[in-house]
Structure 1
């Protein structure tokens, strides 16, 4: 963004306020008793209780005999190794003897885990009778799951109980909604139920219907990180199609009643706990009197219809007629839950004008629960998948599928962009994540503006409207572990019994790993929760260069860094004259007299940004960005990343002004114009060329903020010689893609 874009900046004032979390004004709800302790046990009482059930208190890795014994067991259970493969490995002659393990095969290892490791919530198996047919349901005690999350040591610093009002200004006029404690006045534990039906095998068309649970006291930033394990698999619901019921209407009615009967069975303990409350102990040993209540339901439209018992095509939240859904002015009211329950209570008295398919909704006996307010916006299905399908069909009719696919194959690469080298018009079974990636470069700016703004502004002060984006990200990662991996670990006979046993074993191993980490760190003292839970990024390069000695000639020929020698000498002069203002002519004269004591250099091929959580730990599993160009005031193409050896730097620069270790050779594009293109809202830039040469310079790598993605100006027809790997060289004019993520959208729109 350039310094002259004042009009553009004023337009984006509100959006920038939303992102600048350090400017948030927090007002505590008066007289809140949430989180007030009733007893205070010894610090880390949860781990002390867990450790008391371990037989050998002297052995840090008990019940495993040694560190190797434990680490091999952890590796075998958490890294996708099948039981048969692990047993075959241990049966190799000499392996078990050399490793000195306390188990000889998978069966003995499972015995240690099941019998000697303290228990986690166990799965129960019951049958539900609907329409004379018995169906199996596997579920855990919902209260035990809540207690497991509430008492998890990893969350003790971040659990939020007291309601707060967040404002984006000091005058407290612009309200900000983010986590649940910013939207409700209830001093309780809000329960979030989510679901994402998964097909676990194609050939037999078998599906798993998992129900997940988490608590709203955990900030949503944690939900985005799968490694935090902020969600628990609560149940597997039956996935029957009720083939024995031939009448379609009766089949749908029975399926809906089966779902509600199963959910009522799973959530029934919340009735008494929600009204009377119960004592729960957090990870720091503090006991509180808590009232867990059903607050949010996250699922796609078909699951929302099922949970709310409305008809397909109707809104699951309000009474607006289906033919008025596209209207922005039609009046509507949230469905009246009490009126519906009163009507159902009289279903056997007299004749009704309609037949309600669900006789006993699962929440009819749950206190404080209103399913119509609990439904959240579905970002994945309602926005990404819903819009992309219609958009691609419309574009194919208007532009032709061949031209669309040709342009997709000619986009330059970027960390946030998925290159569909075979095009996108012929894709089938497209996932939600792929739809989101397609949206990044199918630039219909009206729809994209709506999509991004909807994710910021889709809230209401009257409802618990936690956006489900974090849970969508969670589902994309979790369903592989809980459904696909669990299913493939079975022999495909009575699979759900085996899947729940497999998951119980995994949960015990992961919980025991936390306990061992606690013991190895000598029972660390408690650290208070920070004021703001924020997730930052840290810039990193590989420990060793990608190439240790690359000549200047190779940098020119192989990397395209045509004028790197001249750029480096100018950089040296500028660093040596920071206190002076040099004219261009004077700069060139001084640079011509610089003699470089080296003719080759170490070169890096990539810069990465890793996520950093509030505890300061980088997440090695998530690379949030990898850079090719520079954002902010100038855009440039990185040709080379290199370092000057320390001995050479001391001869070129004053000892009091040594350069940064890592440098980058950048070829520049023109500055941002004062306003974006009025047709699509993107800024147009071109390469800067002076006297037939591309303008380039050397900058510290630390000056590079993040990547941007450039959309080539194709013209009426994309040139056939342009390809993804050469389009940055062949094309001179680009548009800066502001839709690759929300940060770029708010910064560049």
Structure 2
């Protein structure tokens, strides 16, 4: 029998028949298409015919990404064009057409820069020249970038191998005795070409490398009249050397910003943008106080005591970190950039009590802190007033004024640093009994605090009297002289900046969760949390939250993501629910990496809403009053963002991640006795190795750049450059389940009608297909019975700020009970960046790729039709369009979706390109619907058991930005 008579061959050849369609048949097809558009009953059910109208789009379909140019869906196959006919059928599937946000309308920003500031005094020899001289290389030594660096470049090491082995020993912490045993093996040093014979010789070479910030200084501090053996150890670097090391770092040379920039969103300069520190008002005011041409170096200092022992013992370290506001915050957050340096270890020695009163003991601890900080920052007194000449990484010499701009600390340390009475505000003079008030109060200033201390000294004659006088003024009575009294152009109260981690998450949100547990009951809240479905970026608390102890900041953040959705439908008063929503709004808005006057007004509105509704917590009796300092601190966030940029410039979370590298690893490398000198020595070697490595990498990169510049200037050389491609989808290199049987897909992915619906989808792609043909499924069986299936993919959604690359993950896996994520899909061209307009929520059940080769009979293979999409597709089951009542918008502001009724026993579905998936989303089951069996809800099955859901605005900061509507 001829192959064309076989069933599989006949199926394939039906596509070729469309090449012979005459004009009469084409006219019939067009008429059938118009009739299909006029009918109200849809091929693939949607909520209403009105909703369908927005799906009638242009005729260009499925321009898939990540593919070489091939005929795509929407292009004519062999024979006369039938594009419009297929568009009509395909667009009846939600999200079937490739859609993107319309970002053609760009806002032209206005940038004002102070060109008179940061004047260059002179240019020093280039960094490369200085580097060559330091390594005894001739200035004209040929290094074209195409060959490795010469051995002289690794001095004081003999060769590159000599240096690499030393680097390995220091970085990996190889045992000293182990290395000595290795080097004692006869001939090993000669074979490897090593320039040292033991660990002592290696350490000597490492110590002789140019230190990044000078040498560690160890000073002894002692209280007056104390015995000589009762002293305290302070280890620190010279603060000016640390500033010079950051300022002159060649890796940061192209990134440092030296001048103030005012950025506006509009031509009328009505909406100012705040992001980096140089875009804030503090820089502007400080620049006006300095001489013409001066360069501002805003210092960001952070202190945070940390525990060294893990299970027993009380060993602590008290590191002081330093960075510059001239460095972009994205680099400051990367520990590998070394843009934040360790400045000092403050004394943490135990105070001998010796019959001292408790008040005097506390006073000694605080006075010791201020005296240590005074010694560390003493060089800033003159440098901040007169300026110092610093050489930048580009060789430019400027007169720089290092000024303390931001002091980063948690609330207890803020009170310690500013000499404020504990449990009061370190920034304003609000009485402790009025912390819950929304009114404004006079600001604390350095002059006011120092005046109170001076008056106390003059009017009292004993420590007890001094203490009482200061405390009445809500100034700390433990301190006589603060470390900041001589720092120029600094107001320590204003320099204390917001702390998202400790103030918002470990403070405000901690209180809210506790109050919600009291209102709902811990067991009921835990039950709701346990039943939440899994979602990317959200931790699942399988045992609830009430049994957790020593909750970390990360855990608290994850609690905030699910809190509000679990409160909806409970006995919580409506005003209390609205108050929780207002605080969550404030917390998420406070974390924006870019603000303008509009978003700052949103923060103010959220804070006003909190003040309007907060009394409901007192009414239900969960708390007597709200005079809590961390709640009051919310009053100062907007002002601090306007002056110092967004909160990610100075959040303590940025510095806490440095504890491991700068304190814990060094302590573990010591013998735990007199550990701080050992820690400083260990850290110095680590710093020297990393700095030397960065220097070598920088020189090599400069030589490469010069090499390619020479090649590009050569007329005989034409370098080939591959076009830059920007990928927004990341799939596994190989399918997770290659060649998976369709019957197995239907069973494992719980899509019993997958093959039937796939036939309908392929029929719609067929040139010349009509509504009748598709409804009747124009062929009886699929020409394949296996598909390549993926269980997950990653992608970068449309972001609201370009400085961060946000990745999202969607899973559709039958493993471990099955997980099929819910997503927001673009279904119309009316999609906006901050609402649900033009989108629909669906559940991804299968991620698959159509076969490129079809087996027609036996082993004979033929290519699949050219109009089949070659990219990966997703089979999605739809929920209802998102809806929201005015009452819901005022209270929790989350939209609702529900399951659609079955049509002919099938859940409404579509097959869509992956690029139409805007982001993953989390659905929270609604507990306020009647006739539901909540007892059967579990995390793996709740999406199947529940019928009505809330779309969680809080599952991530990105989700909040895109789904939150004012």
Q: How would you bin the TM-score normalised by the shorter chain?
A: 0.7 to 0.9
The question of 1:112 aligning with 2:305 is answered no
User: Which of structures 1 and 2 has the bigger CA Rg?
Assistant: 2
2:189/2:197 contact within 8 Å kept: no
Question: 2:130 matched to 1:49?
Answer: yes
Match of 2:366 in 1: 256
**Any conservation in 1 of the 2:299–2:404 contact (CA below 8 Å)?**
yes
Gapped regions of structure 1 (runs ≥ 5): 5-18, 528-535
- Separation of aligned partners in 2, 1:161 and 1:602: 53
Give the superposed CA RMSD.
3.8
Looking at structure 1, the residues matched to 505 and 430 of structure 2 have their Cα atoms a distance apart, in angstroms, of: 23
2-structure distance, mates of 1:67, 1:27: 47
Alignment correspondent of 2:926? 713
Confirm or deny: 8 A CA contact 2:505 2:556 kept in the other structure.
Answer: yes
For residue 939 of structure 2, what is the aligned residue in structure 1? 724
With normalisation by structure 1, the TM-score equals: 0.85
- Cα deviation, residue 570, structure 1: 4.8
User: How far apart, in 2, do the equivalents of 1:71 and 1:635 lie?
Assistant: 54
- Tell me which residue corresponds to 1:221: 330
In the alignment, which residue of structure 2 is the partner of 1:596? 783
Instruction: Classify 1:557/1:506 alpha carbon distance in 2 versus 1 (closer, same or farther; 3 Å).
Output: farther
Question: How many angstroms apart in 2 are the aligned matches of 1:88 and 1:718?
Answer: 70
Shift of 1:37: 1.7
Aligned to 2:118: 35
Instruction: Give the total of aligned pairs.
Output: 711
Q: CA deviation at 1:742?
A: 2.5
Partner of 1:635: 841
| Alignment of 1:190 onto 2:294 | no
CA drift of 1:608 comes to 5.1
The higher-RCO structure (CA 8 Å, 6+ apart) is 2
SS at match of 1:291: strand
Call closer, same or farther: CA 1:198–1:462 in 2, change over 3 Å: closer
Q: 1:147 aligns with which of 215, 223, 244?
A: 244
Deviates more, 1:537-546 or 1:302-311: 537-546
Within 5 Å, give how 1:516-535 maps onto structure 2: 516-523=696-703, 525=705
Q: Is the 8 A contact 1:200 1:487 kept in 2?
A: yes
Q: How far apart are the structure 1 equivalents of 2:154 and 2:401? A: 37
> Displacement, 1:139?
1.0
**Does the aligned pair in 2 maintain the 1:76–1:86 contact within 8 Å?**
no
Cα distance in structure 2, aligned partners of 1:547 and 1:70 = 46
Residue in structure 2 matching 1:172, options 269, 272, 279:
269
Alignment partner of 1:269 is 2:379: yes
Query: What does residue 452 of structure 1 align with?
Result: 588
State the Cα distance separating 1:305 from its structure 2 match.
0.1
Secondary structure of 2:275's aligned partner: coil
Q: 1:373 to 1:585 in 2, by over 3 A?
A: farther
Shift of the alpha carbon at 1:328?
0.7
- 1:479 aligned onto 2:663: no
Judged with a 3 Å threshold, the aligned counterparts in structure 2 of structure 1 residues 373 and 640 are, in CA distance, closer, same or farther, namely same
Instruction: Report the counterpart of residue 530 of structure 1 in structure 2.
Output: none
Task: Indicate yes or no: 2:654 matched with 1:546.
Answer: no
Distance in 1, matches of 2:881 and 2:186, equals: 67
Task: Classify 1:347/1:391 alpha carbon distance in 2 versus 1 (closer, same or farther; 3 Å).
Answer: closer
Distance 2:270 2:735 in 1: 52
Post-superposition offset of 1:159:
1.6
User: 2:443 matched to which residue of 1?
Assistant: 334
Query: 723, 747, 759: which is aligned to 1:557?
Result: 747
Q: Comparing 284-293 with 557-566, which one deviates more in the overlay?
A: 557-566
Residue 877 of structure 2 is matched in structure 1 by 667
In 1, the alpha carbon distance for the partners of 2:180 and 2:954 equals 50
- For residue 276 of structure 1, report the CA deviation from its aligned partner: 1.3
Q: Is the 8 A contact 1:53 1:118 kept in 2?
A: no
Q: CA deviation at 1:557?
A: 2.2
Q: 1:681 aligns with which of 883, 889, 893?
A: 893
What residue is the counterpart of 2:809 in the other structure?
A: 626
- 1:493 equivalent to 2:673? Answer yes
Partner Cα separation in structure 2 for residue 576 and residue 74 of structure 1: 63
- The match for 1:156 among 253, 259, 270 is 253
The residue aligned with 1:379 is 500
Distance 1:461 1:695, change over 3 A: same
Match of 1:424 among 530, 545, 558: 545
Query: Could you say which residue in structure 2 is the equivalent of 1:7?
Result: none
Is 1:286 matched with 2:286? no
Q: 2:954 aligns with which of 739, 745, 748?
A: 739
CA positional deviation for 1:375: 0.9
**Closer, same or farther: CA 732–537 of 1 in aligned 2, 3 Å:** farther
Give 1:239's aligned residue: 348
Change (3 A) 1:118 1:195: closer
Which is further off, 558-567 or 142-151? 558-567
1:698 matched to 2:891: no
1:199-222 superposed Cα distances (whole Å, 9 cap, x missing partner): 111411111111111111122233
CA shift in 2, pair 1:687/1:135, >3 Å:
same
The alignment partner of 2:688 has SS state of helix
TM-aligned CA distance change 1:49 to 1:558, over 3 Å: farther
Secondary structure of the structure 2 residue equivalent to 1:389: helix
Query: Quick check: 201-210 or 152-161, which moved more?
Result: 152-161
TM-score by length of 2: 0.67
